[in-house]
Amino acid sequence: MGLIVQKYGGTSVKDAERVMNVANRVVETYDKGNSVVVVVSAQGDTTDELIEKAMEINPKASKREMDMLLSSGEQISVSLLAMAVEKLGKPVISLTGWQAGFKTDSHYSAARIHKIDKERLQSELDKNKIVIVAGFQGLNKYEDITTLGRGGSDTSAVALAAALHADLCEIYTDVDGVYTADPRIVKNAHKLDDISYDEMLELASLGANVLHNRSVEMAKKYHVKLAVKSSLNRNEGTYVKEVDQVEKMLVRGVTRDNDCARIALCGIEDTPGKAYQVFALLSKHGISVDLIIQSIGNGEKKDISFTITEGELDNTVKLLEENKSALKIDDIKVKKDVSKVSIVGAGMVNNAGVATTMFEALYNADINISMIATSEIKISVLVDQKDAERAVAAIHDKFML
């Protein structure tokens, strides 16, 4: 008996039958004597459909209005789920993010949670109610609705678990847990029994969208016990834990991220301070850069290439074009159809052979690498997007079989 936060994603509540399935699972947990707080996402593809509706009217709609629109998807699911629980005869209440006390900053479409005012939540829990909270949304200081970024309901759930000191936060989705690769891409990927916060954070940040990366960051910070499970069966899921409690495997997962674009600045003056000037300009405009390479240069000219997310491409190119002559850049080249493919594992620290094995897998599959980045627990390479799924499968086969 304790306090359990459960989060159900879009596919888990996509239609009436699935909503009833979730209601039954929630009531089962409640009937065991637990206090239950449930976070739900918008049904099925609702969020994508709302974005399409907006694009039909104004592709340049302000982020404030986009958040107003997108938050409506979750409001539908919480009320439907509450009605389903009512039907099962249990006390229940649905709350929007703002009714549940979510206070965020004003970064529309990618807001961060500042705090959760718990009074309302606590008073409903004290009345023994099952509390159903809309994920992905909060309120900023202007009392405007904000959203937490795509996939953000996971973060809503972990934030609630942290604020309420829950005994467990369960993320229910359409796969059995965290796999060694996206099971939709790699058919022989296998489920991990457990994974460390750090490894999960890397996987999530590098494209394994089974968990929102900020939810993992928060779980680690507040020591939230986190489990990823399927809402469609009773299989054991994956537990996300402290590093010393998990099995140490060299490589735990392979991911790909298609949301990147490469910019090459060709023929920049080969003098001290050029890299600084370029990246200072980008960071001043809030553009975050990911992989970077610089050619050796010949004393006169050199090239610098880097990747950014596709959403930042237009702004970044515009900014660089405006500063092209000031920065003394000969040419700016853009490539959109690239993907970042990464391997993650806490066991790869001090293991020189890992990179070699990864590169060999790509060589055997005849896939060209255009950039490389490494850290203690990950190695990322940039490849053509058309090769990305094959790259994931080839690397997965090499390490996991």
Q: How far is the CB of 276 from Mg ion (least distance, A)?
A: 38
The residue of the chain with the least Cβ separation from Mg ion equals: 151
Could you say which of 29, 47, 173, 305 contacts ligand ASP (CB under 6 A)?
47
Our measurement of the distance from residue 354's CA atom to the centroid of its chain's CA atoms, rounded to an integer in Å, reads 25
Answer for the pair 30, 132: CB distance below 8 angstroms, yes or no. Answer: no
Residue 386 DSSP code: G
Identify which of 99, 105, 106, 80 has the alpha carbon closest to the alpha carbon of residue 23: 80
Ramachandran bin of 328, using left for φ above 0, alpha for ψ from -120 to 50, beta for the remaining angles: left
Judged by beta carbon distances under 5 to 8 A according to partner kind, the member of Mg ion, ligand ASP, ligand ADP, none in contact with residue 178 is: ligand ADP
150 near ligand ASP, judged by CB under 6 A: yes
Our measurement of the distance from residue 275's CA atom to the centroid of its chain's CA atoms, rounded to an integer in Å, reads 30
Both tokens assigned to 393? 């499968």
Q: Whole-angstrom Cα distance, residue 176 to residue 236? A: 7
Phi, psi of 306 (to 5 degrees): -155, 165
171 near ligand ASP, judged by CB under 6 A: no
Residue 250 DSSP code: S
Q: How far is the CB of 79 from ligand ASP (least distance, A)?
A: 15
Rounded-to-10 torsion of CA 323, 324, 329, 335: 100
Judged by beta carbon distances under 5 to 8 A according to partner kind, the member of ligand ADP, Mg ion, ligand ASP, none in contact with residue 11 is: ligand ADP
* Residue closer to ligand ASP (CB basis): 151 or 237: 151
Q: How far is the CB of 48 from Mg ion (least distance, A)?
A: 13
Q: How far is the CB of 34 from ligand ASP (least distance, A)?
A: 23
* Touching ligand ASP, residues 65-94 (CB under 6 A): 73
* Residue closer to ligand ADP (CB basis): 96 or 342: 342
Identify which of 161, 164, 93 has the alpha carbon closest to the alpha carbon of residue 131: 93
Q: How far is the CB of 328 from ligand ADP (least distance, A)?
A: 42
151 near Mg ion, judged by CB under 5 A: yes
Q: Which residue has the tokens 């055997």?
A: 364
Q: Whole-angstrom Cα distance, residue 113 to residue 269? A: 43
Q: Whole-angstrom Cα distance, residue 263 to residue 341? A: 18
Considering only the stretches 40-48, 110-118, 268-276, 373-381, report the one whose residues sit in contact with ligand ASP under the rule CB under 6 A. Answer: 40-48
- DSSP-based three-state secondary structure for 179: strand
Residue 330: C-alpha distances to residues 169, 264, 267, 303 (Å):
53, 11, 5, 10
Could you say which of 19, 27, 42, 344 contacts ligand ASP (CB under 6 A)?
42
Could you say which of 44, 97, 151, 253 contacts ligand ASP (CB under 6 A)?
151
* Touching ligand ASP, residues 113-142 (CB under 6 A): 135-136
Identify which of 370, 321, 372, 336 has the alpha carbon closest to the alpha carbon of residue 263: 336
Could you say which of 6, 11, 34, 41 contacts ligand ASP (CB under 6 A)?
41
Q: How far is the CB of 241 from ligand ADP (least distance, A)?
A: 16
Q: How far is the CB of 147 from ligand ASP (least distance, A)?
A: 7
Q: Whole-angstrom Cα distance, residue 105 to residue 110? A: 9
**Which residues of the chain form contacts with ligand ADP (CB under 6 A)?**
9-12, 41, 151, 173-175, 178-179, 181-184, 208-210, 253
Q: Helix crossing, 353-364 with 388-400: angle to 10°?
A: 130
* Residue closer to ligand ADP (CB basis): 163 or 178: 178
**Spatial CB neighbours of 276, under 8 Å, sequence gap ≥ 6:** none
Q: Whole-angstrom Cα distance, residue 327 to residue 304? A: 12
153 near ligand ASP, judged by CB under 6 A: yes
101 near ligand ASP, judged by CB under 6 A: no
44 near ligand ASP, judged by CB under 6 A: no
Q: How far is the CB of 4 from Mg ion (least distance, A)?
A: 19
* Residue closer to ligand ASP (CB basis): 9 or 177: 9
Binding residues with ligand ASP: total (CB under 6 A): 12
* Residue closer to Mg ion (CB basis): 212 or 252: 212
Contact residues toward ligand ASP (CB under 6 A) are 9-10, 41-42, 47, 73, 135-136, 150-153
Positions in the binding site for Mg ion (CB under 5 A): 9, 151
